[in-house]
Structure 1
Amino acid sequence: MEAILKDPAGAVIGLDFDGTLSPIVADPAAARIHPEAPAVLAELGGHVGAVAIVTGRPVVTALELGPGLADVPGLVILGHYGFERWEDGRISAPPPPHGVLQAEAELQLLLGSLGVKGATIEDKGRAVAVHTRRSPDPEGTLAALREPLAALADKHGLVVEPGRLVLELRPPGMDKGHALGLFLAERAARSVMFVGDDLGDLAAFDAVKNSGLPGVTVCSGSAEVTALAERADIVVDGPDGVVALLRELASAYGRS
């Protein structure tokens, strides 16, 4: 934190979206960014070298669920775990992987054959996710789906990304840690903070530790996932706590 405060131009602030900047809700399509987050990020972006949102969401979805993000100076959004990139109003990305389309076409039939109730499928373009939050037994349904979804992913050359009552099938070769590491090298960062809440953010925590830079990891705490809190340097109380921490950091820059 001392390095981040003393040399803001060399600092990269990385953040997850769902559960970090946006509260977790039963319907992923109904998620919305914390109402105070865009203004705080805009203030922070005026001081630090870069603010990067690293999310499993498609870039377009993150922008739709985060009104005001497009106005944050210097913001970069790395969507689909880094397969997509939004910067200066433009999106760059490789073609969608064929395996995702094939897996999604088989998912509804698979869920029906397993007799799963309440599980919902989210089309993420370059990935497909199965949520169990609306199931009568969310944890039990998630456990019952792990093996069948792993087999389906393997069949189509995909990997399974576990999360908070969700299993996501996505292409291999990229994760939040790899995306963050590449971004730090690109920006010649001299310090880094990463804030996350879910299992997919562990790779980003590893990237902070492995970067060799002065770095701090922050967990947006919840009762659903404890693995990040055990690894984090700082634990805050959900998106409210994240926004409060970022506001404190921005204010510290303003006082210096």
Structure 2
Amino acid sequence: MSGFFFDFDGTLSRIQVDPATVLPVPGAVGALTGLAGLVRTVGIVSARPVDFLRSRFEQVPGVVLHGLYGLERWQSGVTTVVPGAEDWGLVVAELLARAREELPGGILVEDKRLSMALHCRRAPRFGEYAVRWGREQARLHGLVLELGPMTVELKPPVDRDKGTVLAEETSGLECAWYFGDGAPDLAAFRALTDWSTGSPDRTAVRVAVDHPDADAVLLQEADLVLDGPDAVPGLLDAVGATMGHRPGG
């Protein structure tokens, strides 16, 4: 049995200045829907909250949504949260209030309930300032700093990332694909490498989606590199067509 797992921003969607406006590229939801009837698992593993992911992918049959780097999991209408993450909600809420008071207006402060993100695409000149502020707050409050292109994320110090998600979701699979574009996706790539080297009967396919902000190390470690998010649905349709002629997905 096979599983297909995807990052969202920059992988199934184009990067946008306002993260609230981001949608899957044309054909992505249809391609995932087609795969869902052929494989055991279709999953999204994203920094986005589960509620946001539901608004984009809930219609994909059986989809598993992992939000906030795996702190949240949603499937079949049920959301679960990793133990310990909820304990940091008050810390994050207080830090959100401080960020909105202290940071320049060009920095977009995103409330993810259990984590928060600072987006600097509207005002790149504030990028270094946001990183310094984020580092100091992470140190003071015991949070984990996650850096992305024009993004600074502060999240609870819970042992959870895209790699631990993939290690769990690949149990019982014979073939697993992961599609990503950024540094946080390296953990998923490496979890697939560990999983596949554990048995000669397992096949891992690590796909990097290239664009101007894509992580250079991820591109080097990939088995396959695609030219932007718009190339993903076509590949999925082609893979699905091939799998449709074989029993057992």
Pair 1:90-2:78 in alignment: yes
Pair 1:228-2:213 in alignment: no
Residue identity in the other structure for 2:43 = A
Pair 1:170-2:155 in alignment: yes
Shift of the 71–145 alpha-carbon distance from structure 1 to 2, 3 Å rule, reads: closer
Pair 1:106-2:94 in alignment: no
Contact 2:115/2:153 (<8 A) preserved: yes
Give the CA deviation at 1:96.
Answer: 5.8
Following the alignment from structure 1 to structure 2, what is the Cα–Cα distance between the partners of residues 227 and 27?
26
1:134-191, Cα deviation, whole Å (9 max, x unpaired): 00xx1x4222322221110121221111112101111122111111112223xx1222
Aligned match for 1:41, one of 32, 35, 41: 32
Pair 1:53-2:39 in alignment: no
Pair 1:154-2:167 in alignment: no
Give the CA deviation at 1:35.
Answer: 2.8
Contact 1:103/1:156 (<8 A) preserved: no
Aligned to 1:11: 2
Following the alignment from structure 2 to structure 1, what is the Cα–Cα distance between the partners of residues 135 and 163?
22
Aligned to 2:166: 180
Following the alignment from structure 1 to structure 2, what is the Cα–Cα distance between the partners of residues 51 and 85?
13
Contact 2:25/2:229 (<8 A) preserved: yes
Shift of the 72–96 alpha-carbon distance from structure 1 to 2, 3 Å rule, reads: farther
Aligned to 1:119: 107
Following the alignment from structure 2 to structure 1, what is the Cα–Cα distance between the partners of residues 30 and 174?
25
Of stretches 164-173 and 86-95 in structure 1, the one that deviates more from structure 2 is: 86-95
Following the alignment from structure 1 to structure 2, what is the Cα–Cα distance between the partners of residues 199 and 142?
17
Q: The residue matched to 1:72 in structure 2 has which SS?
A: coil
Pair 1:190-2:174 in alignment: yes
Residue identity in the other structure for 1:204 = A
Aligned match for 1:248, one of 238, 241, 244: 238
1:34-66, Cα deviation, whole Å (9 max, x unpaired): 2311111111111111111101111111122x1
Following the alignment from structure 1 to structure 2, what is the Cα–Cα distance between the partners of residues 96 and 23?
33
Residue identity in the other structure for 1:32 = L
Following the alignment from structure 2 to structure 1, what is the Cα–Cα distance between the partners of residues 87 and 36?
31
Pair 1:211-2:224 in alignment: no
Contact 1:55/1:80 (<8 A) preserved: yes
| TM-score when normalising by structure 2 | 0.89
Pair 1:76-2:72 in alignment: no
Which structure shows the bigger proportion of residues in helix conformation?
Answer: 1
Of stretches 100-109 and 90-99 in structure 1, the one that deviates more from structure 2 is: 90-99
Following the alignment from structure 1 to structure 2, what is the Cα–Cα distance between the partners of residues 75 and 195?
15
Contact 2:26/2:230 (<8 A) preserved: no
Any gaps of 5 or more consecutive residues in structure 1? 1-9
1:62-88, Cα deviation, whole Å (9 max, x unpaired): 122x1xx22322210111111111111
Contact 1:99/1:157 (<8 A) preserved: no
Residue identity in the other structure for 2:154 = L
Contact 1:57/1:80 (<8 A) preserved: yes
| TM-score when normalising by structure 1 | 0.86
Following the alignment from structure 1 to structure 2, what is the Cα–Cα distance between the partners of residues 156 and 83?
18
Aligned length: 235
Following the alignment from structure 2 to structure 1, what is the Cα–Cα distance between the partners of residues 11 and 67?
15
Q: Percent identity?
A: 35
Q: The residue matched to 1:255 in structure 2 has which SS?
A: coil
Aligned to 1:6: none
